[in-house]
Structure 1
Amino acid sequence: MHWTLHDTTLVIWTVVAIAVVVVLITQYKIHPFLSLILGSAVVGLGAGLGAAKSISSFESGFGTTLGGVGILVALGTILGKLLADSGGADQVVDTIVGRSGKARLPWAMALIAMIIGIPLFFEVGVVLIIPVIFLVARRAQTSIVRIGIPALAGLSVMHGLVPPHPGPLIAINALHADLGQTLAFGLIVAIPTVIVAGPLYGMWIARFVTPEPPARLVAEFERASTRTATEAAADGSPADAAQKPNTPERAEIEPRPITRPGFVLTLVTVLLPVVLMLGRAIADIATDDKDNPARKIFDSIGDPFVALLLAVLLAMFTFGYLRGFSRAQVSDMIAASLLPIAGIVFIIGAGGGFKQILVAIGIGDAIGKAAAASGISALLLGWLIAVGIRLATGSATVATVTAAGLMAPLMAQLPGTNTALLALAIGSGSLFLSHVNDAGFWLVKEYFGMTVGETFKTWSAMETIISVVSIALIMLLSVFV
C-alpha cells in the first residue's frame, strides 16, 4: 500500500489535535478531561468524520474504556485506602526497616515502596511514604536522597509498569493485551529497573546532592509518628495511638484501628490480586484446552475484576472489621477513597473516546504505512510517542491514553507485535523525564528541600533512568517472546 494525500491529511489533523490537547493543558490550564474532548472534536471534524459520527465514536470509546478500566481503578483505590487506614502500610514499613541495617536501608525502602505501591496511586503512595522517608533518614543519620530515591523509584515503576495501576490498565484495555501476560512481563521488567534507578542510583547521587529537608515538615512528621508518655497521660490513652480503641466521638474525627494487621496478613491481602492474575496466566500457558475445569476456575478468579473484588472483600475483614472498625466506618473509608479518583477516571474515559475517534478516521492505516516504511519497531514507536506527550504535558496518564490510542489501530498492520510488551513500552515512555510541567516534580522538590537543579539531578534523572532501562529490558524480552 502506498502513501496517499488522505494519509497525510489524517496525520496532520492528528498532530493538530494532540497539539491542541497539549496547549490547552499546559498554556491555558484547562483540565485534561475537557482538553481531550476538545482535541477529539478537532480531529473528528477536521478529518471529515462529521459531527454525528464523531459524537457517537467518542461516546462509544468513553463507555467501553470505563467499562474495562474504571471499575478496576475504583477497586484498586478502595484496597489502597483500606491498607493505609488500617495501619497495614505502617506494619510493612516497620517490619522491613526494623530488620534492615543502615547499609541495607535503600534496598529496604525500595522493597517497601514496591509492596505498598501495588494497590496505591502514585500520588497517594508518595504522601504515605514521605513521612517514612523523613523519619528513617533522620534516625539513621543519612541523606534523605539516599533513602528517598529508592522509595520513589519503587512507587514510580509499579505505577507505570505493573497492573492494576491505571496506566498499564489503560494500555491493556486499548490494545486488547492479555493482562496476566502483561503483569508477568511487567514484574520481570520492574525488579531490575527498580534496582538500577532506585538503590544503585540513589546511593550514588546522594554523594553529590545533600539537601536539608524543611525543618517544619520534619518536626511535623516526628510529632505525627510518636506519642510521648506525657501526651498519653494527659488524655488517658496508651502511648501508641494505634492501640487506642475507637470511641464514637474519636471515630467521627479520625477512625483508628485498635490493632494493626500482621505483616504476613498484610502481604497476603495486598498480593492476592497479583497472585490470582499470575495464576490465570500460568494456567493459560499450561493448557490450551479452554474447557479444562482447572483452567476455567483460574480464568474466573484470575480475571482482574474478580481478583480485585476478592482482594477488596478480604481487605474489608483483614484491614477493617478485624482491626476494630465498625461496618459504618469501613463503608465511610470506601466512600472516601472513591471521591479523589473522579478526575482520573474521567480523564481515562475521555482518552478512550479520543482513541475511538482515531480508530474511526483510520489513522492506524496511515501510521502503519509510515512505520513499515521507516522500519522502526512498534515497541519503540509506542515508547517514543508516549515520551513526546509526557514531555509536553507532564502527565503520565495523558501520555499513556494518547499513545495507546494512536497505537491501537496500528495493531492490524503489525500482527506480529506482542501487545503485552507494547502496553509496557507505552507505560515506560510515560515515565520519561518528569520536569517543571509535572506536579510530581514540585512535590518532591518541596518535600526534600531541594533546588530546581538538584531536583533535576535526583527525581528527573531517576524517572529518565526508569524509562530508558525499562524500554531496554522490554526490547530484550521481545527477542524471546
Structure 2
Amino acid sequence: MSLAAPIVLAAPLSDAGHAQLLTAAVLAIATVILVIVWARFHPLLGLILGTVVLGAVAAVPPEDGLNSFISGVGDTFGTVGLLIALGAMLGKLLADSGGANRIVDTIVDRVGRRTLPWAMALIAAIIGLPMFFEIGVVILVPLVVLVAVRTKVSLMLVGIPALASLSILHGLVPPHPGPLTAIALLKAPLGLTLIFGLIVAVPTLVVAGPLLAIVIDRWVPVDTPDPEGGRADDGGDDADDGKQGAGHSDDSDHEGAGGTTPPFALAVLAIVLPVALMLVRAIGELTLDDGTTIRNVLDFVGEPAVALLVGVLVAMVTVGRAAGMDRKAINDSLGSGLPGVASIMLIVAAGGGFKQVLSDSGVANVVADAAKGSHLSVLFLGWLIAVGIRLATGSATVATVTAAGIVGPLGAGLTDAHLALLVLAIGAGSLFFSHVNDAGFWLVKEYFGMTVGQTLRSWSVMETVVSVLGLAGVLVLNLVV
C-alpha cells in the first residue's frame, strides 16, 4: 500500500493557522535543543520547557495544554515505565550474580583469536538484551579490555563488535526503551517490530561490528591498557597465542555477590527468556486465529510486561539462588537497579507528553500535510528527523520520542508492517554520529583510554555506519512486506 495514506486526527485544541503552528513546532524543538545543549539542563526540563513554548506559540489554552501534557506523560509512563524498571532489575541481578561474567568466560574459553571479534559481538548481544546501553557499557567494556589483555588481540578488534552489538540492540530491538517508546507512540505491533528488528540487526551487526573493526583497527590503532600496569603488548605468559582457552579464567576471577557464579546455561536462560516469550507471541499473531485459547495464552505471556516479569522471577532462581545469593541479597540487587533508570523513565514520559501536545494542538496535522506534500518516504522522513535531533541533543532517547511524535500522524493509514518499519527507521536515525554532546561518547572514550579524535574516528564512525545500514535494512524490508 502507499505510505502516504489519508490521515484522520481529532480536532485540534487550537484554532491557530498553519504558519503559526509550524512556527510553534520549530520554536519548541529549538527550545528543547538549546536548553539541553547550550544551557546544559536535564533533558526532562528541556522537554517540559519545549512543551510550554509549543503551547504558548500555538495559542493552546494553558489548562488544555497542561491536561494534554499530563495525559501523554501518564499514557507513556504506564506503557513503557514498567518495562524499563523490570529490564533494569533483570540486568542488575545478572551483573551482581556474576552471570554476565560467566557468559563472557564460557564463550571466550571456546574460541580462538581469529573468531574472538565475532564472539565478543555475540557476548554483547546476549548480555545487552535486557540492559540499557550505558549499563551494558559499564558491565561489558572492562571485560572487553580484560579479554584483549589476556589474548593480546587489538582492543579495537574486540571492542568495536561489542559496542556495535550494544548500540544496535539499544536502537532497534525491544525491550529497550527507545523502540518500546516509539512502538507505544506510533501504536505499532510489538511482535512484528521485534521480528523485523532482529532481521535488520543481524546484517547490520556483521558489517558494523567484526568487519568494520578490521578497518577501524588499522585507522585508529589503540594500545590495550594493562590492568596491572604497562601495556598489553609488554609480554606475559597468560595468553595462549590464539588457541582455545583464550579467557583462562576460573570461577574465582569474577565471583558473584553470593561467592560463586551461576552456570552458563542458566545465565543465558534468564536473559533470552523474555525475548523468547515475545517472539512466540509474534509467531502466534502471524499463524493462529484471533480468539483461540492458544492464541490468548501466547498473547498474555508474550506481553512485554508479563515476559519481563517472568524473566525477573526466573532469574531470581536461575542466577540469584544459583550464585549463592540469599533472599535479601537478591532483593537488594533488584532494588539497586532502579535508581539508575529513573532519569530514563522520566525523559521518556516527558517525551510522551511533548508528543501529545504536538498532536492535540494541531501541529501534528500540519506536519503530516507538509510531509505528504514533500513526497519523501515516511520511513526516510522519520529517520531524517531522528538524525537531526540526535545530532543536536546527543540523546538517542530524546531523538526517538520527538521524532515519533512528529511523524506519528503519518502512521494513521499505515499497515502494521509499515508501522513496525517506521519504528525501526526512527530507531536507526537516533543512533547517527554520536559526538561530544552524547554521554555515551565520553563513556566509551574514557573506558578505552582514547583521545577525542580517536573516539570520533572509531566510535562515532561506527555509530554512523550502524544508523545508515539500519535505514538500508528497513528500506529493503519495505520492498517485500
TM-score where L is the length of structure 1: 0.90
Give, in angstroms, the shift of residue 213 of structure 1.
4.5
1:373 aligns with 2:376: no
Give, in angstroms, the shift of residue 447 of structure 1.
2.0
Aligned residue for 1:54?
65
State the distance in 2 between where 1:220 and 1:77 align. Answer: 34
User: For the structure 1 residues 72 and 220, does the alpha-carbon distance in structure 2 shift closer, same or farther, using more than 3 Å as the test?
Assistant: farther
1:130 aligns with 2:131: no
Aligned residue for 1:226?
none
- Spell out the pairing of 1:89-238 with structure 2 (5 A cutoff): 89-214=100-225
Of 22, 25, 32, 2:36 maps to: 25
CA contact (8 A) 1:170 1:348 kept: yes
AA aligned to 1:390 is R
CA contact (8 A) 1:436 1:442 kept: yes
State the distance in 1 between where 2:454 and 2:361 align. Answer: 45
Give, in angstroms, the shift of residue 393 of structure 1.
0.5
Aligned residue for 1:425?
425
**Secondary structure of residue in 2 paired with 1:433:** coil
**Secondary structure of residue in 2 paired with 1:297:** helix
Give, in angstroms, the shift of residue 220 of structure 1.
12
Give, in angstroms, the shift of residue 403 of structure 1.
0.5
Aligned residue for 1:473?
473
Aligned residue for 1:285?
286
State the distance in 1 between where 2:386 and 2:415 align. Answer: 21
- Spell out the pairing of 1:334-349 with structure 2 (5 A cutoff): 334-349=334-349
Aligned residue for 2:241?
none
User: For the structure 1 residues 49 and 135, does the alpha-carbon distance in structure 2 shift closer, same or farther, using more than 3 Å as the test?
Assistant: same
AA aligned to 1:91 is R
Give, in angstroms, the shift of residue 406 of structure 1.
0.9
Aligned residue for 1:275?
276
Give, in angstroms, the shift of residue 259 of structure 1.
2.9
Aligned residue for 2:3?
none
**Secondary structure of residue in 2 paired with 1:290:** coil
Could you give the per-residue CA deviations for residues 40-97 of structure 1, whole angstroms, max 9, x where no partner exists?
0110121011100110000000000000000000001111011111111111111111
Aligned residue for 2:362?
362
- Spell out the pairing of 1:398-437 with structure 2 (5 A cutoff): 398-412=398-412, 418-437=418-437
State the distance in 1 between where 2:340 and 2:254 align. Answer: 28
Aligned residue for 1:235?
none
CA contact (8 A) 2:189 2:416 kept: no
Could you give the per-residue CA deviations for residues 211-260 of structure 1, whole angstroms, max 9, x where no partner exists?
22555686899xxxxxxxxxxxxxxxxx954798xxxxxxxxxx722332
Aligned residue for 1:313?
313
User: For the structure 1 residues 417 and 83, does the alpha-carbon distance in structure 2 shift closer, same or farther, using more than 3 Å as the test?
Assistant: closer
State the distance in 1 between where 2:307 and 2:226 align. Answer: 43
State the distance in 2 between where 1:410 and 1:174 align. Answer: 12
**Secondary structure of residue in 1 paired with 2:388:** helix
State the distance in 1 between where 2:316 and 2:230 align. Answer: 33
Aligned identity (percent) is 53
Gaps of 5+ in 1: 222-238, 245-254
**Secondary structure of residue in 2 paired with 1:80:** helix
State the distance in 1 between where 2:304 and 2:31 align. Answer: 34
CA contact (8 A) 2:359 2:365 kept: no
User: For the structure 1 residues 386 and 72, does the alpha-carbon distance in structure 2 shift closer, same or farther, using more than 3 Å as the test?
Assistant: same
- Spell out the pairing of 1:384-395 with structure 2 (5 A cutoff): 384-395=384-395
State the distance in 2 between where 1:425 and 1:461 align. Answer: 19
CA contact (8 A) 1:265 1:318 kept: yes
Gaps of 5+ in 2: 1-5, 7-14, 233-249
State the distance in 1 between where 2:157 and 2:447 align. Answer: 14
Give, in angstroms, the shift of residue 451 of structure 1.
2.2
CA contact (8 A) 1:356 1:405 kept: yes
User: For the structure 1 residues 386 and 129, does the alpha-carbon distance in structure 2 shift closer, same or farther, using more than 3 Å as the test?
Assistant: same
**Secondary structure of residue in 1 paired with 2:447:** helix
1:333 aligns with 2:301: no
State the distance in 2 between where 1:156 and 1:115 align. Answer: 13
CA contact (8 A) 2:145 2:225 kept: no
Aligned residue for 1:250?
none
CA contact (8 A) 1:153 1:198 kept: yes
State the distance in 1 between where 2:152 and 2:231 align. Answer: 18
Instruction: Work out the number of aligned pairs and report it.
Output: 451
AA aligned to 2:205 is V
1:301 aligns with 2:301: yes
1:34 aligns with 2:45: yes
State the distance in 1 between where 2:190 and 2:145 align. Answer: 36
Aligned residue for 1:350?
350
**Secondary structure of residue in 2 paired with 1:103:** coil
User: For the structure 1 residues 73 and 136, does the alpha-carbon distance in structure 2 shift closer, same or farther, using more than 3 Å as the test?
Assistant: same
State the distance in 1 between where 2:64 and 2:274 align. Answer: 39
CA contact (8 A) 2:149 2:226 kept: no
Give, in angstroms, the shift of residue 413 of structure 1.
5.7
State the distance in 1 between where 2:224 and 2:38 align. Answer: 31
State the distance in 2 between where 1:328 and 1:41 align. Answer: 44
**Secondary structure of residue in 2 paired with 1:28:** coil
Of 44, 47, 69, 2:80 maps to: 69
Aligned residue for 1:224?
none
Give, in angstroms, the shift of residue 417 of structure 1.
7.2
State the distance in 1 between where 2:218 and 2:335 align. Answer: 44
CA contact (8 A) 2:387 2:430 kept: yes
State the distance in 2 between where 1:217 and 1:476 align. Answer: 48
User: For the structure 1 residues 173 and 218, does the alpha-carbon distance in structure 2 shift closer, same or farther, using more than 3 Å as the test?
Assistant: farther
Give, in angstroms, the shift of residue 443 of structure 1.
1.8
AA aligned to 2:451 is T
Could you give the per-residue CA deviations for residues 349-403 of structure 1, whole angstroms, max 9, x where no partner exists?
1001000000101222212211221111111110000000000000001101111
State the distance in 1 between where 2:412 and 2:30 align. Answer: 26
TM-score where L is the length of structure 2: 0.90
**Secondary structure of residue in 2 paired with 1:418:** helix
Aligned residue for 1:225?
none
User: For the structure 1 residues 243 and 454, does the alpha-carbon distance in structure 2 shift closer, same or farther, using more than 3 Å as the test?
Assistant: closer
User: For the structure 1 residues 243 and 148, does the alpha-carbon distance in structure 2 shift closer, same or farther, using more than 3 Å as the test?
Assistant: closer
Aligned residue for 2:382?
382
**Secondary structure of residue in 1 paired with 2:434:** coil
AA aligned to 2:270 is T
CA contact (8 A) 2:98 2:254 kept: no
